[in-house]
Amino acid sequence: MRGHGTKFSRKMEETVAALLTQPNVDAAARSVGISVATLMRWQKDPEFQKALREARRAAFGQAIARLQQTSGAAVATLGKMMVEQTAPPSPRVRAAEAIINHAAKAIEIEDIDARVTELERVAEAKSKA
């Protein structure tokens, strides 16, 4: 929420929310009681653009959290399918490939994280010297 005296209005905040929930720009403008021309003008405003990016990032973050909450069940499902002797070979192979691919990607991400952490540590040590 913006403070008193800023250019960003409550109507702009409502419009940002409408852009995330309505199917298109026309519907978003209509839902908050502004013209499409006003909304298009606001979309050129850097502060409005920043607020919209932040709102989108927050909404996407919530979606990622939901994915993470169900990832354990997804892995269990893949594992069950992979070892299910009565299942056709093709889905069993696809499940095995998915497990291998995701495990390899996780290792790559861990390696990159370790490298970035080390680079940050070195940069921090150099900046203090």
Backbone angles phi, psi at 59, to 5 degrees: -65, -40
Phi, psi of 33 (to 5 degrees): 75, 35
pLDDT per residue of the chain (129 residues) written in tens, 0 to 9: 444 445 678 999 999 999 999 999 999 999 999 999 999 999 999 999 999 999 999 999 999 999 999 999 999 999 999 999 999 999 999 999 999 999 999 999 999 999 999 999 999 999 998
64 and 110, same structural domain?
A: no
Is 75 within the bounds of a domain? Answer: no
Count of Cβ atoms closer than 10 Å to residue 45 Cβ: 14
Q: Residue 122 domain-assigned?
A: yes
Domain span including residue 105: 84-129
CA gap 123, 25 in Å, rounded = 45
**Residue 9, in any domain of the structure:** yes
Count up the domains in the chain and report the number: 2
Asked if residue 79 belongs to a domain, the reply is no
Stated pTM of the model: 0.59
Amino acid at 36: V
